[in-house]
A and B are shown apart, each in its own frame.
Chain A
C-alpha cells in the first residue's frame, strides 16, 4: 500500500528544472537590463519583426536622403554664389559701357572691360564643387564654358561679319559701315549665334539641369545650366563689345554696338536675379523637405524604440525578483536534500 503519492526522485527533479528555468531567465534579463532592448527581438515580437525591419530600413533611407539633401544644399549655395558673381560682372561691364556711348574718350576702355568680363564670367561659370561642374547641367565632367578667345563662337562671329560686309573686323574698311547697317547685322546675324546650335561653340553644358531625388517620389532640379537665356544675353553683349570696340568702326556704328550690348547686358542682369530667386525657391523647398525628413525620422525612431525597447526599471525589478527566487531555490534544494529519514534512524 502506498500512503503518499510522491516520489523522492520527482521532488529532486522538480527542484532541478525550476532552478534551470530561473537561470535561463536570469541570463535573458541581464542582457535586457544592460542593453535596454529585448535580448531576442524576433522571439519577442514575432511577425511584427517585419514592421520593425521596415522602420529600421526607413530610418537608414531617410539618413541617405539627408546626405543627398545636404549635398544638394551645398551645390545650390555654390550656384547662388556664382550667379551673384556673374551678375556683378554684368553690372561692372554695364558701368563701363554706359559712359562710352556717345563719348569717344571712354570707348577704348570698353574693349578691355569686355575682355575682362568674358574671362571672369567663363571662370565663374566653370566653378566646380566636389569635381562636379555647377553650370554644366547633366554634363558634369570638365568645364561648362570654353574661353571666348579662340573658341568656335569667336570664329563664327568673325565669319558672319565677313559674310555680311565682305571684309574682316580688323579691316580699316569697317570705318565705312553705317549705324543702320550695324543694327541690322547685330539683330539678324550676330544675335542668332547665341542661340543653339551655334551657342555650343562656347558652351559644353547640357540643357538638362541635374535632378536629385530628395524624398520618395520627389525629385528636384538642382541649379541652373550655362545654357540659360541670361548667360547667353550676357555673352551676346560682351562679345559684341569685345569684337567691335577695338575696330575702326565709326562713332555712330559703335554707339549702335554699345546700345545693343547695354540692352543685352541689362536683360541678363534681370535674368540673373530671376535665376537667383528660382535657386532660392529650390533652397527653401529643400529646407522644408529637410524639416519633413527630420520629423519623419523622429517619429520612426520613436516607433522603433516602442517596438524593441524594454522598460529598464521593470526589467531590473524582475531581475531582482529572479535573483531572490534563485537564492530561495538554492536554499530549499540544500534543505530538501538534507531532509532524509536516514538521518533519524
Chain B
C-alpha cells in the first residue's frame, strides 16, 4: 500500500515535470509561428516499465515535399529572372511598345528617302534623309552597346551568385557539422535542422540542389546536373568574371567541382536557379539579340552599297552606311560580329564635315566610276528610287542569329522585334505559372510543418488541466500520508 502511494506520487511528479517539457516545446512552437523556416516540434510521450511517461521531442519533417518545393522555387526564380531581364533588354533595344525600335527608325529612313525621291533637287530633304540615316546608325550602335552592358551586368550577377553560393555552402558546412554532432550525442538537433533547411532554400534560389540524407542526419548536396556540391565539405564553385563585354567576347562559365554549369535554354527556360538563368541571358539571348542587330547593320550596308556604273567591273563598295571593315562589303549571308556597333554614316555624305548629302542622289562616294547621275541633273531620281526599293528587297540572312527564313531589310527588323517580344511573352507567362506552382508547394510545406496557433493554444489548456490534476493528486496523496502518519502517532 505504501509503495503504491509512493508510486502514485512519483507518477504525478513525473507528469508535472513532463508538463514543463511539453510547455517548453509548445512555447517554442508559438514563438516560431511566424517564421516560415520553423518546423513544428511534437512532444511524443512514451511510457516506461513502471508506467512513468517520458517525453521525446520530434521535429515534423516532410523530405519529399521539401525537395519538390526547393526544385519548384529554383525554377520559379530562374524563370522570374529571365522574364524580368528580357523585358529590360527589350526596353533597352525597342523602347516601350516598340517606339524606339530599329524597325521604326528604318521606316523613318525609308519614308525620308521616299519623300526625297519625289523632289531630288531639294537639299533640305537630302539632309533630312541623311539625318534619318544617322538616327538608324545611332540606334543600332546604342542598342549594341546596351546589349553588351546587359551581358556585363549578367556576368556581375553570376559573380555575385557564385559568391553567395560559396558563402551559403560555408555556413552549410558548420550547420551540417552541428547537426551530426547533436544527432550523435542524442540531443535535439531541431534548431540546426531548421537552419539547414533555411540554407537549402536560400541555395535553391541560386542553383537547384538535390539533398540526400545519410547516417547521423548528414546531408549531401548534388546539383541536378549530377555534380556534387557538398559532401562533408563544400566543393569549390569557381567563376572568373569578365569585366567588360564586346560582341566578340564570350564570358567564362561558373564551374562546380571543376565541371562547367549547364546554361538554361528556351524562353520557358529549363534553368533552375538564377545562376543558370543569368548564364542563359548572357550567352544565349543577348548574343542572339546582338547577332540580329549585326544582321540589320549588314543589311543596311548592303542596301546602300554602290556598284560600278561604268561596267568596268570594279567591286561593289559601301555607300551611305559604312563600318569598321568598309568600304569593302562584308561577306554575304553571314553575321559580321560587332557590325551594329561600328556602323556609321559615311563622312562623305555629311555636310558638316565637308561632305555632300546630294551624294545620296548622285552616287559616287567611291569615285567617279560609281556616279549614277552622269548628267548631273538636279532632279535625277533613279538612284533614290532604287535605294527605296532596296528596303523591300530580299537579302540572305544568317539563321544562326536566331531567326530563320527569307527576309528583306525592313521585315528582318520587324522579325527581330517579334522574336524578342515572343520570348518576353512566353517567359512572362511561364514565370506566372512556375511561381504559382512554387507558392503552392511552399504553402503545402508550411501547412505540413508549420504551426497552427489555435491548436497550440488548445494544447496549452490541456496541459494546464493535466498540471492541475497532477497537483491535485499530489495534494491528495499528501493528505493520505498525513492521515496515515496521524493515526500512527
Binding site for B on A (CB under 8 A): 1-10, 13-14, 17, 40-54, 56-57, 60-61, 63-65, 67-68, 71-72, 130-132, 136-141, 206, 208, 210-213, 216-217, 219, 340-342, 345
Instruction: Give A53 to B118 CA distance when docked, in angstroms.
Output: 26
Chain A residues near B33 (CB-CB < 8 A): 7-9
Name the interface residues of B368-398: CB closer than 8 Å to any CB of A. 375, 377-382, 385, 388-389, 392
Chain B residues near A7 (CB-CB < 8 A): 33, 40, 446-447, 449-452
Q: Are B385 and A47 touching (Cβ within 8 A)?
A: no
Q: Are B424 and A42 touching (Cβ within 8 A)?
A: yes
Q: Are A138 and B119 touching (Cβ within 8 A)?
A: no
Instruction: Give A219 to B477 CA distance when docked, in angstroms.
Output: 117
Q: Are B380 and A138 touching (Cβ within 8 A)?
A: yes
CB distance from A192 to the nearest CB of B (A): 23
Known: A53-B417, A131-B122, A140-B121. A9 touches B377 (CB 8 A): no
Residue of A nearest to B460 (CB): A345
Known: A2-B60, A45-B425, A48-B418. A211 touches B381 (CB 8 A): yes
Q: Are B421 and A49 touching (Cβ within 8 A)?
A: yes
Instruction: Give A67 to B116 CA distance when docked, in angstroms.
Output: 11
Cβ of B98 under 8 Å from chain A: yes
Residue of B nearest to A60 (CB): B107
Q: Are A206 and B119 touching (Cβ within 8 A)?
A: no
Instruction: Give A63 to B33 CA distance when docked, in angstroms.
Output: 66
Instruction: Give A139 to B379 CA distance when docked, in angstroms.
Output: 5
The 9 A-B residue pairs with the shortest CB-CB distance, nearest first, are: A50-B418, A7-B450, A46-B425, A47-B422, A49-B421, A42-B421, A138-B377, A138-B379, A140-B379
Q: Are B425 and A44 touching (Cβ within 8 A)?
A: yes
Instruction: Give A42 to B454 CA distance when docked, in angstroms.
Output: 48
Q: Are A212 and B381 touching (Cβ within 8 A)?
A: yes
Binding site for A on B (CB under 8 A): 33-36, 40, 42, 60, 87, 90, 94, 97-98, 101, 103-104, 106-108, 110-111, 114-115, 117-122, 375, 377-382, 385, 388-389, 392, 410-411, 414-415, 417-422, 424-426, 428, 439, 443, 446-455, 457-458, 461
Q: Are B111 and A42 touching (Cβ within 8 A)?
A: no
Instruction: Give A17 to B94 CA distance when docked, in angstroms.
Output: 32
Q: Are A213 and B443 touching (Cβ within 8 A)?
A: no
From B377, B414, B421, give the contact of A57 (CB < 8 A). Answer: B414
Chain A residues near B425 (CB-CB < 8 A): 42-47
Known: A43-B428, A57-B414. A17 touches B454 (CB 8 A): no
Chain A residues near B419 (CB-CB < 8 A): 47, 50
Q: Are B392 and A216 touching (Cβ within 8 A)?
A: yes
Q: Are A49 and B120 touching (Cβ within 8 A)?
A: no
Instruction: Give A342 to B183 CA distance when docked, in angstroms.
Output: 36
Instruction: Give A50 to B424 CA distance when docked, in angstroms.
Output: 13
Residue of B nearest to A212 (CB): B118
Chain A residues near B443 (CB-CB < 8 A): 10, 13-14
Most chain A CB inside 10 Å of its own CB: which residue of B97, B428, B461: B97
Instruction: Give A45 to B461 CA distance when docked, in angstroms.
Output: 59
Residue of A nearest to B94 (CB): A42
Residue of A nearest to B96 (CB): A40
Chain A residues near B107 (CB-CB < 8 A): 57, 60-61
Chain A residues near B461 (CB-CB < 8 A): 345
From A5, A46, A63, give the contact of B421 (CB < 8 A). Answer: A46
Chain B residues near A2 (CB-CB < 8 A): 40, 42, 60, 452, 455
Q: Are B110 and A61 touching (Cβ within 8 A)?
A: yes
Q: Are B114 and A46 touching (Cβ within 8 A)?
A: no
Known: A2-B42, A57-B410, A61-B110. A210 touches B379 (CB 8 A): yes
Q: Are A60 and B111 touching (Cβ within 8 A)?
A: yes
Chain B residues near A4 (CB-CB < 8 A): 452, 455
Instruction: Give A53 to B105 CA distance when docked, in angstroms.
Output: 12
CB distance from A165 to the nearest CB of B (A): 37
Instruction: Give A8 to B115 CA distance when docked, in angstroms.
Output: 69
27 A-B pairs with CB atoms under 8 Å apart are: A1-B42, A5-B447, A8-B33, A9-B450, A13-B443, A42-B425, A43-B87, A46-B421, A46-B425, A49-B421, A50-B417, A57-B414, A61-B107, A64-B110, A67-B115, A68-B115, A72-B118, A132-B122, A138-B378, A139-B378, A141-B378, A211-B385, A212-B118, A212-B381, A213-B117, A342-B453, A345-B461
Q: Are B410 and A8 touching (Cβ within 8 A)?
A: no
Instruction: Give A52 to B419 CA distance when docked, in angstroms.
Output: 13
Instruction: Give A342 to B457 CA distance when docked, in angstroms.
Output: 8
Instruction: Give A219 to B104 CA distance when docked, in angstroms.
Output: 24
Instruction: Give A131 to B106 CA distance when docked, in angstroms.
Output: 29
Q: Are B447 and A53 touching (Cβ within 8 A)?
A: no
Chain A residues near B106 (CB-CB < 8 A): 57
Q: Are A50 and B117 touching (Cβ within 8 A)?
A: no
Chain A residues near B446 (CB-CB < 8 A): 7, 9-10, 13
Q: Are A8 and B453 touching (Cβ within 8 A)?
A: yes
CB distance from B26 to the nearest CB of A (A): 13
Instruction: Give A4 to B456 CA distance when docked, in angstroms.
Output: 11
Q: Are A341 and B457 touching (Cβ within 8 A)?
A: yes
CB distance from B469 to the nearest CB of A (A): 19
Chain B residues near A130 (CB-CB < 8 A): 119
Known: A2-B60, A213-B385, A340-B453. A71 touches B111 (CB 8 A): no
CB distance from A63 to the nearest CB of B (A): 8
Name 20 extra pairs, CB < 8 A, besides A130-B119, A132-B379, A139-B379: A2-B452, A4-B455, A5-B447, A6-B447, A8-B454, A9-B34, A9-B446, A46-B418, A50-B418, A53-B101, A64-B115, A67-B118, A132-B121, A138-B380, A140-B377, A206-B377, A208-B377, A212-B118, A219-B385, A341-B457
